[in-house]
Structure 1
């Protein structure tokens, strides 16, 4: 697991540089203003759906596919994966069409505090970003294939196409539409990159409807609770953006910029820890090596928890300097830096709980406990709304960041308790070979 983690870390650093560079350009061109507010809110809805629906594949398809390859061989696993892809794409295209048709009431509901012109801009950007849904779903599926084959360098590096394409488009045009166009084309380029890497296995990339119903049910039983849970978990991001819109103008953009560094560190943990973890945990549980799974889980939590705590101290202590170095150019002023840095401090408190939470959730998925993840995600969603409401009255937009950190602390405790119970009570065997 350590070697795979280092590979993902190396690739993630490249992605991080590209993401930060793109956000620097956006900050310099648009600052903390109406355009950034509108794009942050519009894109967060679509990206939230893409992450929840497409991103849940890893936690459901990888364990089932590995088990089928062990039991029945690669041909049966291929048939299953292609059937899953077909159903995924049909669902995402249908959702995109429905959201386009109902874009006006959707945006009116979540951006009702925006002035009419700003609300119309938000709707336009929202409609422009909708094509990325099926693209993101296909890319997520192809990335799962790369992960199953442990081609982790390419599966991680593929996402660099999104910020790189965005940078190119923004350099060509500084209009608000360039932000949405760059995002959609970025996902398209990611698809092309992954397709090129998997060119020797083209059949796996083509959707096909037929597969054994029992195997589809096995994926569905894992996928449905994870997807619903992801909708609740990633829905907290949209909720945060919407509730920030209730505050003063520029609050949505302030929250968006304040979350960039912390969210990227979280995403970094998701890639560097989550991808190797789900593969290794699924392999151990498929072969019923419970003692080895317990040992690996304990070691990983101790090491990763310490690293995350150190990162929290660094981000909190150097928040003003980090924001100034990253964003204080052009339209992004020193006043904006002070506001964003304060919010970023409260966001950084979540890092330790987010990092260890990635490991705990992946172990629960490997154990087939995705329904437990759903329960925790539902709790997180409603607790986040309640704490947002309380803390934003006390601390303004910084209170929204604090609420997120508190919720993740509680959820990590819940997940830890469930993993401990599963590994020590339900699967107490000592066999490790």
Structure 2
């Protein structure tokens, strides 16, 4: 039931995201504004999302166990967690704002002068969004620890606000609608999730800067190892933007449209199972039934691999039609459809491996095997970086997508090998 609820919420959220992309394509087409938006959202959000990704994986099992603590202990930990989240997010937001011109000079040299100027304007919204992303991520983890998945639906709030802002803007001449829609959307999402998390926990968790809660030593140790792998994987987005920016010809915009359409497909099936699986597997692990958790994860993984293969086949056939249906209107031309569909098809090859590996990631996380997860992540990034360098010059943005597909293939092979080896080790020891 958890996966079904998440899938339903994801379907609604992704529908809102699709409508937002349609509006952006209608108003902006493949242009410098979309180049700037795609570059800025990827580069400005990569570190906050990396931190949230690492913390969520290690934090949810801790929060599941914390449910059995007394109220005072729970309040102490949640308050300290909130306090350090706000402090760290504030520092991150200030640094993002101050260092953005240097980031543009270092990574964004391939962007046009107009796109670079637009990126500076967009940073007014994305710098504070760094803080809001961390607060939102912690609130979402609190909800998922209670197996409540409304956060999945609320992921679409920024997209809905951007959609409304872009459509109400009339004639679009700058990135103002994208900038203010993004900032207001993140504010609403952050406040809403914080309120829901407080209701789920039965307390707000008043922020305080201290380390007195007993959960910190194990959490910090696990988060440090997990963060190493997450940082490695988080560079995938920036390295894609850097590679695309140096290809020229609005490659950032083309890659961005294909990536966002691909994310709609990824989210509906894969993320629903992944988000529902971790609390369930963590609960089974906490009861000492490791064999059952491993068997369940391997079965789910095979089913998801098959579903991903079917989705790839259907998606490859329907890619031009889907791109045209969603985007081909206004400033988005038929030639843009051909370019985006070509890139999208190569990205679809990642679906089976992405679907299949997602549950195995949750299995290893529920077992606290963060070291091997970090090693796999570093290997994935190494392959991705090399493949970008090899494939992009000859295939363009499609080569970037193919490199991502190869990265997920390696990831799936590694996770299956670790899970199967663990199963054999368990049988031998017994």
TM-score band, normalised by shorter chain: over 0.9
Distance (Å, rounded) in 1 between the aligned partners of 2:46 and 2:360: 22
Kept after mapping to 2: 8 A contact 1:34/1:250: yes
Aligned to 2:82: 85
Q: Does 1:171 pair with 2:142? A: no
Correspondence list, 1:219-298, <5 A: 219-269=219-269, 271-298=271-298
CA shift, 1:385, in A, is 1.4
Aligned to 1:47: 45
Distance (Å, rounded) in 1 between the aligned partners of 2:87 and 2:103: 22
TM-score by length of 2: 0.94
CA shift, 1:211, in A, is 4.5
Q: Does 1:139 pair with 2:133? A: no
Correspondence list, 1:394-433, <5 A: 394-425=394-425
Query: Can you list the C-alpha shifts for 1:18-49, whole angstroms capped at 9, x where unaligned?
Result: 00000000011001111100110011112222
Q: Does 1:95 pair with 2:100? A: no
Distance 1:260 1:415, change over 3 A: same
Distance (Å, rounded) in 1 between the aligned partners of 2:77 and 2:429: 31
Kept after mapping to 1: 8 A contact 2:361/2:415: yes
CA shift, 1:118, in A, is 2.4
Distance (Å, rounded) in 2 between the aligned partners of 1:32 and 1:95: 31
Of 133, 151, 156, 1:155 maps to 151
Distance 1:199 1:73, change over 3 A: closer
Provide the secondary structure at the position in 1 that maps to 2:246.
coil
Kept after mapping to 2: 8 A contact 1:169/1:178: yes
Runs of at least 5 residues in structure 2 that lack an aligned partner in the other structure: none
Kept after mapping to 2: 8 A contact 1:376/1:411: yes
CA shift, 1:212, in A, is 3.6
Query: Can you list the C-alpha shifts for 1:254-313, whole angstroms capped at 9, x where unaligned?
Result: 001111122233234453112211101111111110221122112211221111111111
Distance (Å, rounded) in 2 between the aligned partners of 1:258 and 1:346: 10
TM-score by length of 1: 0.93
Provide the secondary structure at the position in 2 that maps to 1:52.
helix
Kept after mapping to 2: 8 A contact 1:392/1:400: yes
Distance (Å, rounded) in 2 between the aligned partners of 1:47 and 1:347: 21
CA shift, 1:396, in A, is 1.4
Query: Can you list the C-alpha shifts for 1:120-163, whole angstroms capped at 9, x where unaligned?
Result: 222221343111111111111111111111222x1211212111
Kept after mapping to 1: 8 A contact 2:25/2:331: yes
Query: Can you list the C-alpha shifts for 1:344-376, whole angstroms capped at 9, x where unaligned?
Result: 000000011111111111111111111222112
Q: Relative to structure 2, which stretch is displaced further, 415-424 or 313-322?
A: 415-424
CA RMSD across the alignment: 1.9
Provide the secondary structure at the position in 2 that maps to 1:329.
coil
CA shift, 1:208, in A, is 2.4
Distance (Å, rounded) in 1 between the aligned partners of 2:126 and 2:332: 25
Distance (Å, rounded) in 2 between the aligned partners of 1:265 and 1:49: 24
Runs of at least 5 residues in structure 1 that lack an aligned partner in the other structure: none
Distance (Å, rounded) in 1 between the aligned partners of 2:202 and 2:249: 49
Distance (Å, rounded) in 2 between the aligned partners of 1:389 and 1:8: 37
Kept after mapping to 2: 8 A contact 1:320/1:337: yes
Distance 1:337 1:207, change over 3 A: same
Distance (Å, rounded) in 2 between the aligned partners of 1:428 and 1:46: 48
Kept after mapping to 1: 8 A contact 2:75/2:205: no
Distance 1:427 1:158, change over 3 A: farther
Distance (Å, rounded) in 1 between the aligned partners of 2:297 and 2:115: 48
Q: Relative to structure 2, which stretch is displaced further, 155-164 or 397-406?
A: 155-164
Kept after mapping to 2: 8 A contact 1:42/1:126: yes
CA shift, 1:196, in A, is 3.8
Distance (Å, rounded) in 2 between the aligned partners of 1:60 and 1:74: 22
Q: Relative to structure 2, which stretch is displaced further, 16-25 or 217-226?
A: 217-226
Distance (Å, rounded) in 1 between the aligned partners of 2:318 and 2:334: 15
Distance 1:426 1:81, change over 3 A: farther
Correspondence list, 1:124-135, <5 A: 124-135=121-132
Distance 1:271 1:79, change over 3 A: farther
The count of residues paired between Structure 1 and Structure 2 equals 426
Distance (Å, rounded) in 2 between the aligned partners of 1:357 and 1:60: 18
